[in-house]
A = this chain, B = another copy of it.
Amino acid sequence: MKVKHITIIGLGLIGGSLGLALKKQCGEALKVTGVDHDQETLELAVQRGAVDYSTNDWKRGVEQADIIFLCTPVLQIIPIVEQILPYVKVGGILTDVGSTKGFLAEKLLYMMPSGVHYVSGHPMTGIERSGIMAADRGLFKDKWYILIPEASTSPEAVEIISQTLTWTGARITTMDLYDHDQCAAIISHIPHVVAAALVNLLGKYPALEESFKLVGGGFRDTTRIASSNADMWADICLTNSQPITQSLLQLKELLDEMIQAVEKADRPAIHHFFKRAKVRRDILIEETDSHVV
C-alpha cells in the first residue's frame, strides 16, 4: 500500500507536530486531514500548515484515510474509535500515541472489523507545553518511537506505520506490551508524579512562599514536567495503575533508605545512594546519546 492520505485525530502537541513533520517531508504527495472538537484548533492547524483540511465531522475526517493517528488523551481513544469505525475504509490502519498500551491494545485489537488494522505505538517525546501552538515539526527527530505489535497484529500494517514514521525523523523500535508499560511507568510516569509531588511539597510551607522565588536550575529542571497537561496525566495514571503504584511503593522504600541513613548520620550509606545514582545515570545518558545518529 502506498500511503496517500493520513488523518490525525486530536490536534494537540503530538498530533500537530506529527502533521507538521509529515507535511514538511511529503508536501503535496501526502494529504493530511485533521479532526478535533475545538473550532479554534481546527483553524490554527490549517493556518500553521499541520493539516491540509480540518473538520469536526467523523465521517468526512476519516473516510479517505489510509492511516488514522489517534492523538487524544488516552481515555478518549476507545469512545472515538467506536464513533469512527463505521467510516474507516477497508485496508485502513489505526494507530495511537497513548503513553499506556495494555489498557488500549487489547480492547482495540478486538474491536477492529475485518480488513481494518490496529498498531499500538508510543513516541518517547513530549514537552511540558501542550496544544497546537506548541506543535513543532522537529518534535520526533532522533527520538524513539516505540511500536508494540502483538500476536494478532498485522506485520504488514506494522511495516507501513514504521515506514510512515521514518518521515518524521523518529527512530523506530519495537517492544513487548508488558515491558513497555512497566518501562514507561519507571522512566516517564513516575518522574511526572514525583515532579508534581516536589512542587506540591512547597504548599506545606506557606511561610516560605517568598523565599521559593530563589529557586535555581536544579529545582527548575527536576520539576519541569510538573507543568504538563493535568488531564493527560490523570488518564495515564488511571490506565497504567498497577505498574505506577508498584513503582511508587518502591520509590518510597528508596526514600526510606535515605531517611534512615540521614537519621543515623551514616555517611557511607548516604554517599553510596548518591554515588550509585550518578554512576548509573552517567552511563545511561552516554549510551542513550551514542544511539543518536
A residues with CB within 8 A of B: 124-127, 143-144, 146, 173, 175, 179-180, 182-183, 186-188, 190-205, 207-208, 211-231, 233-234, 237-238, 241, 244-245, 247-252, 254-256, 258-259, 261-263, 265, 267, 270-271, 273-278, 280-282, 284-285, 287-288, 291
Partner of A278, one of B126, B186, B227, B255: B227
What separation, in Å, do the CA atoms of A258 and B205 have in the docked complex? 20
Across the A-B interface, give the 3 residue pairs with the lowest CB-CB distance, nearest first. A196-B277, A230-B274, A230-B275
Which residues in B have their C-beta under 8 angstroms from that of A241?
262-263, 265
Partner of A248, one of B211, B238, B259: B259
Which residues in B have their C-beta under 8 angstroms from that of A215?
124, 187, 284-285, 288
Partner of A216, one of B187, B248, B262: B187
- Please tell me if the beta carbons of A245 and B222 are within 8 angstroms of each other in the complex: no
What separation, in Å, do the CA atoms of A277 and B275 have in the docked complex? 29
- Please tell me if the beta carbons of B255 and A267 are within 8 angstroms of each other in the complex: no
Closest to A276 in B: B200
Partner of A221, one of B187, B222, B267, B277: B222
- Please tell me if the beta carbons of A273 and B214 are within 8 angstroms of each other in the complex: no
- Please tell me if the beta carbons of B202 and A186 are within 8 angstroms of each other in the complex: yes
Which residues in B have their C-beta under 8 angstroms from that of A193?
255, 258, 273
- Please tell me if the beta carbons of B222 and A124 are within 8 angstroms of each other in the complex: no
- Please tell me if the beta carbons of B262 and A200 are within 8 angstroms of each other in the complex: no
Partner of A245, one of B182, B252, B263, B278: B263
- Please tell me if the beta carbons of A251 and B187 are within 8 angstroms of each other in the complex: no
Q: How far is the CB of A135 from chain B (nearest CB, A)?
A: 16
Given contacts A201-B186, A278-B227, contact A179 B208 (CB under 8 A): yes
12 chain-A/chain-B pairs, Cβ below 8 angstroms:
A126-B218, A179-B207, A179-B208, A187-B212, A195-B222, A218-B225, A228-B278, A230-B271, A237-B270, A238-B270, A248-B255, A252-B255
Partner of A190, one of B201, B244, B265, B287: B201
What separation, in Å, do the CA atoms of A278 and B203 have in the docked complex? 12
Closest to A218 in B: B225
Which residues in B have their C-beta under 8 angstroms from that of A212?
183, 186-187, 284
What separation, in Å, do the CA atoms of A291 and B8 have in the docked complex? 41
Given contacts A183-B208, A214-B124, A281-B227, contact A274 B234 (CB under 8 A): yes
Which residues in B have their C-beta under 8 angstroms from that of A223?
191, 222, 277, 281
Q: How far is the CB of A255 from chain B (nearest CB, A)?
A: 5
What separation, in Å, do the CA atoms of A280 and B258 have in the docked complex? 27
Given contact pairs A199-B277, A227-B285, a sample of 20 additional A-B residue pairs in the complex whose CB atoms are under 8 Å apart: A124-B215, A125-B217, A144-B214, A183-B205, A187-B215, A188-B216, A194-B222, A196-B278, A201-B250, A201-B251, A215-B285, A218-B225, A228-B274, A234-B271, A237-B262, A241-B265, A244-B262, A245-B263, A249-B259, A252-B252
